[in-house]
């Protein structure tokens, strides 16, 4: 009876390269997932963790594929130099190639899922974020708060106030008075006794549909999405 053939002890140089590159792609794919999770967790708002994670994952997946292939080429070359001679057509199966060969299906599936999945979800993100995230809603609420408190201040003191004065007179809390909140920079400008305006400019403009906001003595809230400070001629918020 013929004995069952075991794993090959030597393989062609091309097979060795394929297995090593596959191994390196798997390592970089794991790195892509970890890096995307960490950056989404610590650099983006918790209310949009999923969208941020997908965005970072798409970027790192591209990086993982590029560096996985480049790393595989370098590692394969080092292994061949260490264990073979240039005239050898068949080379020993290194431990790196062995792992790459054993996990070729899972690693290939993982890389394809990362690439295609993150691409599809990234394309869908503008649809799923058609409504402002929570911190954008907070910025709109802040504009309304400034509008009402300005009118209260004016009815008491006869004129509108700067952000600092509103805070000092306890019309707004110190957090808003600092001019920073939920990734927005808040600015209040008093143009005259009867005119004022405020802007909430996103620190990361362009990431969502509504980025920056504007309000003045009319009480109408306006917005821009290109990162520029909105003005009295910008589109109004529905």
Neighbours of 196 (CB within 10 A): 22
Instruction: Assign 3-state DSSP to the chain and report helix, strand, coil percentages, each to 5.
Output: 55, 15, 30
Residues 110 and 16 in one domain: yes
Segment 168-193 shows an average pLDDT of 90
Residues 160 and 71 in one domain: no
Residues 35 and 108 in one domain: yes
Residue 2 falls within a domain, yes or no? Answer: no
- DSSP track, 43-79: HS-GGGHHHHHHHHHHHHHHHHHHHHHHHHHHHHHHH
Residue 5 falls within a domain, yes or no? Answer: no
The closest alpha carbon to 208, from 48, 36, 15, belongs to 48
The residue among 128, 153, 186 that closes a domain is 128
Residue 41 has pLDDT above 50, yes or no: yes
Split into its structural domains, the chain has a count of: 2
Neighbours of 135 (CB within 10 A): 17
Residues 93 and 19 in one domain: yes
pLDDT of 122 reads 58
The closest alpha carbon to 94, from 17, 2, 28, belongs to 17
* Segment 130-163, tens digit of pLDDT: 445 777 888 999 999 999 999 999 999 999 999 9
Residues 113 and 140 in one domain: no
Buried b (16+ CB within 10 A) or exposed e, 59-95: bbbeebbebbeebbeebbeebbeeebeeeeeebebbe
Residue 183 falls within a domain, yes or no? Answer: yes
Residues 89 and 166 in one domain: no
Provide, rounded to the nearest whole percent, the portion of the chain with pLDDT above 90: 32
The residue among 128, 145, 164 that closes a domain is 128
Q: Supply the range of the domain harboring residue 164.
A: 134-224
The residue among 128, 161, 178 that closes a domain is 128
pTM reported for the whole predicted model: 0.50
């Amino acid at each position: 009876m013929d004995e069952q053939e075991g794993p090959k002890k030597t393989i062609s140089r091309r097979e060795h390269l394929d297995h090593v590159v596959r191994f390196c792609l798997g390592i970089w794919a794991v790195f892509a997932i970890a890096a995307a999770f960490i950056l989404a967790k610590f650099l983006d708002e918790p209310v949009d963790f999923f969208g941020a994670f997908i965005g970072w994952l798409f970027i790192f997946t591209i990086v993982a594929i590029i560096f996985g292939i480049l790393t595989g080429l370098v590692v394969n070359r080092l292994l061949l130099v260490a264990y073979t001679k240039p005239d050898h057509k068949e080379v020993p199966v290194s431990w790196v190639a062995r792992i790459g060969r054993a996990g070729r299906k899972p690693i290939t599936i993982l890389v394809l899922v990362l690439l295609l999945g993150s691409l599809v979800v990234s394309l869908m993100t503008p649809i799923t974020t058609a409504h402002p995230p929570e911190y954008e809603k907070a910025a709109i609420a802040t504009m309304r708060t400034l509008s009402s408190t300005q009118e209260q201040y004016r009815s008491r003191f006869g004129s509108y106030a700067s952000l600092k004065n509103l805070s000092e007179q306890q019309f707004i809390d110190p957090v808003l008075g600092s001019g920073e909140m939920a990734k927005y920079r808040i600015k209040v400008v008093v143009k005259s006794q009867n005119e004022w305006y405020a802007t909430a400019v996103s620190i990361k403009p362009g990431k969502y549909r509504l980025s920056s906001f504007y309000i003045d003595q009319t009480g109408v809230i306006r917005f821009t999405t290109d990162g520029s400070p909105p003005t009295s001629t910008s589109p109004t918020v529905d």
